[in-house]
A = this chain, B = another copy of it.
Amino acid sequence: MVYQAKDRKKYTIADIAKELGVSKTTVSRALNNKSDILPETRERILETCKKYNYQPSALAKGMSIQKNNTIGVFIPHDIDYVFMNPFYEEIIRGIFKEADKLGYYILLLYCRSDNYLDVIYQDRVDGLLVISPGLNHRDIIEKIEETRIPYVLTSRMPEVDKVPHVCVNNYKGAMIATEHLISLGHRKICFINGPDILSSSADRYRGYTDALKKNGIQVDPLLIAEGANNIDSGYLIMKEMVNKIKPTAVFVAGDFMAFGVMNAVQEMGLRIPEDISVVGFDDIAMAKVMNPPLTTINQSTLKKGQTGVDILVDIINGKQVSLSTELDVQLVVRKTTSKVNNWYE
C-alpha cells in the first residue's frame, strides 16, 4: 500500500474578504482587535474565519510585522548529551511551558556543524536563549552579539558581563550542601565537580572549599575530582574514590552523576546512607525516585527556564530588563545522608 500527499486549498485573508464583501484591511482589523471597526462587522468576520478555520499565515504576518513569535533555544552541546541529561529536560520543560503561556513557539537548536546561527540570519527567530554556555563558548556569544539579536544566557559568563542572563547561586548551593555533611559529623567529604568549562563549576568549587575552611577542615585535592556530568563518569570516579580514599561522604555536583555514584557505592557492598552519605545538586525529577531518594540542592531548574523566557520576551518587546537575575537554591534533605560512620575501620 502506498500513499501520497493530497492537494490542499488554503484560505487567505483575501478569500475571507471577498466572501463577506469587505476589504482585506477590514478583515485584518477584526483579526487584530483594532478599535476602528464596527463591532458587528468584526463579529461577522470572526465568525467566517472560525467557520473556515482560517488563521493568518505566520509567514506573511511575520514578514509584515517583522516578528515571528518564535524564540530559538540554543544548547551548545551535542544532541546526544543533551537528550540524555535530565537537567536539560527540566530546563527545556520550563522554557516550553513559559513560551506557550506567552504565545511563543520554540526552535530547539544544539551544536551542529557551525550553522546554529543560521536561524538568526534567516530570521526564523525573534530572540535566542542560550542554555548554560561554558567558558569555552565565548566565541559563540560574540557571534551572537554581532547579529544584535535579543538574547539571554542561562549561566553567568565571567568577563562578558554586559550580557543579560539568569543564573543560580551555585556558591551558596555548594556551601550548604557541604555544611550539611559537616553538620552530620563528616570530615572526609569527596567532591565530584562538573566539567571545568562550566562557570558553575568554579562557583561550586569555591562553595565546597569555603565550607570546609570555615569549619576548620583542610582542603585535600585528592578528595576532589572533575566529572563529565553523566552516570558513567560518576560511577567510575566513585569506584576509585572509595578504593583509594575511603570517604564517609560525597558531594556530587549533579544529580544525574550522583546516580552513577550511588550505583558504584552499592555495588561495592556499602550502604547509603549508613556507610556513605551522598548529596547531589539540581534536584532533577528523578532524584526523589532514586533508591534511596537523593538529598540534594534544589536549583529550580524549571524556573530558570521560565525566567529566561520571560526576560528574553521582554527584551524582544523593547522593554528594559535587569542584566542579571539570580535564582536562589535550597537544601532538600531526603534519604541519602546520615550521621558519619567510619565503615572502613
Which A residues are closer than 8 A to B by beta carbons? 1-8, 10, 53-60, 62-63, 68, 79-80, 83-84, 89-90, 92-93, 96-97, 100, 105-108, 110, 112, 117-119, 121-124, 147-150, 162, 164, 231-232, 235, 259-260, 263, 266-267, 285, 289, 291, 315-316, 318-324
A241–B164 alpha-carbon span in the complex (Å) = 53
A23–B100 alpha-carbon span in the complex (Å) = 41
Q: Which residue of B lies closest to A53 (CB)?
A: B121
Q: How many copies does the complex hold?
A: 2
CB distance from A86 to the nearest CB of B (A): 9
Whether A93 contacts B83 in the complex (CB less than 8 A), given A4-B315, A108-B106, A148-B6, comes out as yes
Whether A55 contacts B122 in the complex (CB less than 8 A), given A105-B107, A108-B96, A112-B100, comes out as yes
A324 to chain B: which residues have CB within 8 Å?
A: 1
Q: Which residue of B lies closest to A316 (CB)?
A: B5
Whether B315 lies near A5 (C-beta < 8 A) is: yes
Q: Which residue of B lies closest to A121 (CB)?
A: B55
Interface of A is mostly: mixed
A149 to chain B: which residues have CB within 8 Å?
A: 8
A33–B345 alpha-carbon span in the complex (Å) = 74
A89 to chain B: which residues have CB within 8 Å?
A: 83-84, 89
19 contacts between A and B (CB under 8 A): A1-B322, A2-B321, A4-B315, A6-B148, A53-B117, A55-B118, A59-B62, A59-B124, A60-B63, A79-B93, A83-B93, A84-B89, A96-B108, A100-B112, A105-B107, A106-B108, A232-B289, A260-B289, A263-B291
CB distance from A78 to the nearest CB of B (A): 11
A118–B53 alpha-carbon span in the complex (Å) = 9
Whether A58 contacts B1 in the complex (CB less than 8 A), given A148-B8, A259-B289, comes out as no
Q: Which residue of B lies closest to A124 (CB)?
A: B58
Q: Which residue of B lies closest to A321 (CB)?
A: B3
A58 to chain B: which residues have CB within 8 Å?
A: 122-124
A122 to chain B: which residues have CB within 8 Å?
A: 55-58
Q: Which of A53, A110, A267, A315 has the most CB of B within 10 A?
A: A53
